[in-house]
Amino acid sequence: MQKAMEEVLCIYYTIELLRMLEILHSVGIIHGDFKPDNLLVRYAREDLTEDTFSSRTGPWRDQGLCLVDWGKGIDLSLFPAGVEFHGDCRTSGFRCVEMQESRTWTYQVDTYGLCVIVHMMLHGSYMSIEKKVKPDGSHHYQPKSPFKRYWNVDLWKNLFSALLNVQSNGSDVPLLQSLRRSFEEYIGRNQQLINKLKHLLVKQKASLCSA
C-alpha cells in the first residue's frame, strides 16, 4: 500500500483528470489506458497565486497533469456512429465494469481508470468494487473501501457512484463537466483550501524534483 495524499491534493488532481477526459471525450477520443503510469505532473515555473486558481490563469495554467502513451487510443470518428466495443484491456485493476461483465463499452474504459487513480490517491491502494442490490431490484457498484468521515464524503460518493454506474455508451461529457464543476466550486469558495493546496504543491514539487 502506498501513502495516501492529502484530500485537497486529491481534489485538485481529480479536477485535472476530469477536465482531461472531458476534453478528450468531447472530440470522440478514448485513451484506453488511463492509469497513473501514463500521467506526468507539470509544475508551473512561477509561484502559484490564490486569486487566479478559479480562473485557471497565470501559473495555474501551466500546473497540472500531462497524459502520455496513446498506444491503445481510439478515435471514434474512424468508426460508424454509435459503435461499441467488446474487448478486454487485460490490465489488472483497470478492467471497467463492462469488461468484467462481458458487456459493450466506449468511454467507460477511461472513466473507470479515473476512479482507480482517484482511489489510489485517497486510499493508497488499488480499487476493489462491490455490487449492491438497490431497493428497486437494480444493482449499484461502489468501492469497497470506506470514506474517512473527515473527508468531503458527498463529493467522493457522487463521483464514484456516477462513474461506476454509467447507464449508456453515449457521450459522458455533460457528466464529467458537472462532476468537475462540483469539485471546483467546493475548493474555489474556500480560500484556506486554496492556500493549503498551493503549499502542498510547492512541497510536492520540492520532494519529487530532488528525488
Q: Which set of grid coordinates corresponds to residue 29?
A: 477520443
Task: Report CA Rg, the chain.
Answer: 17
Pair type for strands 29-30 and 74-75: antiparallel
Query: Among all residues, which ones are annotated catalytic?
Result: 33
Q: Spell out a b/e string for 141-173, using b for 16 or more CB atoms within 10 Å of the CB, else e.
A: bebeeebeeeebeebbeebbebbbebeebeebb
Contact at 8 Å (CB) between 128 and 144? yes
Contact at 8 Å (CB) between 109 and 30? yes
Distance CA(119)–CA(151), nearest Å, equals 13
Q: What is the rounded end-to-end Cα distance, in angstroms, of the chain?
A: 20
Residue 197: Cβ within 10 Å count: 20
Contact at 8 Å (CB) between 58 and 78? no
Residue type, 104: T
